[in-house]
């Protein structure tokens, strides 16, 4: 009997998370803490008795390295891995690489808050969460979900906003409620799906 397992993990802390910079499609690596968070994620999943058949990640280093560390901790180094920019973080456009405090000085606290926390207002030259969903969801439906429904135990390591887009669909959240949903770095969220792709159960392993 298939358990239709889907596990989502946000990458560990990146160098730009640490520096309070807008990252988006920029490609900084993990910090030492970020690597530790990835190790902890692997240990938690192993302690729960999980193993995987297939993994998906973004085209960005911080997510790929988080996935590699998780699989190494689990002793699953040879797993098939699919990398695709559809799972990339939201593109912050002109904000990318800027310190968040500097951005507030330049555009004002309220405007930056709208860009960060609205559903459909993109920053200049970038993507809103709605745009990110439009990019991420088709890939999920066409490539990831069929694996889960076939009974392949599936691990997805990506980013705060690309994963939020998937969680919005899985948990049937509204544009308002998804904005309040926080995702801790390196904390696995474990879904078991019904045969019709609805969620049977969800377990968040955030510490």
**Of the listed 15, 73, 89, 109, which one is catalytic?**
89
CA atoms within 13 A on the CB side of 151: 3
DSSP 77: T
Burial of 131-169, coded b for 16+ CB within 10 Å and e otherwise, reads: bbbebbbebbeeebbebbbeebbbbbbbbbbbbbbbbbb
Judge whether 82 counts as a catalytic residue. no
Q: In what order do the strands lie in the sheet with 199-204?
A: 81-83, 54-57, 154-158, 5-10, 189-193, 199-204
Judge whether 37 counts as a catalytic residue. no
What DSSP assignment string belongs to 84-119? Answer: -GGGSPPP-GGGTT-BHHHHHHHH-HHHHHHHHH-S
Active site residues: 11, 89
């Amino acid at each position: 009997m298939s358990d239709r397992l889907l596990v989502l993990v946000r990458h560990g802390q990146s160098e730009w998370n640490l520096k309070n910079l807008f990252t988006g499609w920029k490609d900084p690596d993990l910090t030492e803490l970020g690597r530790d968070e990835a190790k902890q994620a692997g240990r938690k999943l192993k302690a729960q008795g999980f193993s995987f058949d297939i993994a998906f990640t973004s085209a960005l280093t911080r997510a790929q390295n988080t996935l590699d560390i998780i699989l190494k901790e689990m002793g699953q180094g040879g797993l098939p891995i699919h990398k695709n920019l559809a799972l990339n973080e939201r593109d912050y456009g002109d904000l990318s690489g800027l310190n968040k405090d500097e951005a507030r000085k330049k555009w004002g606290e309220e405007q930056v808050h709208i860009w960060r926390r609205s559903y459909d207002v993109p920053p200049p030259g970038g993507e809103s969460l709605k745009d990110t969903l439009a990019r991420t969801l088709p890939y999920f439906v066409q490539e990831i979900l069929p694996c889960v429904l076939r009974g392949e135990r599936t691990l997805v390591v990506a980013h705060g906003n690309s994963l939020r887009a998937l969680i919005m669909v899985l948990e049937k959240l509204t544009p308002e409620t998804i904005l309040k949903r926080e995702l801790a770095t390196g904390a696995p969220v474990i879904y078991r799906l019904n045969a019709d792709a609805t969620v049977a159960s969800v377990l968040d392993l955030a510490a």
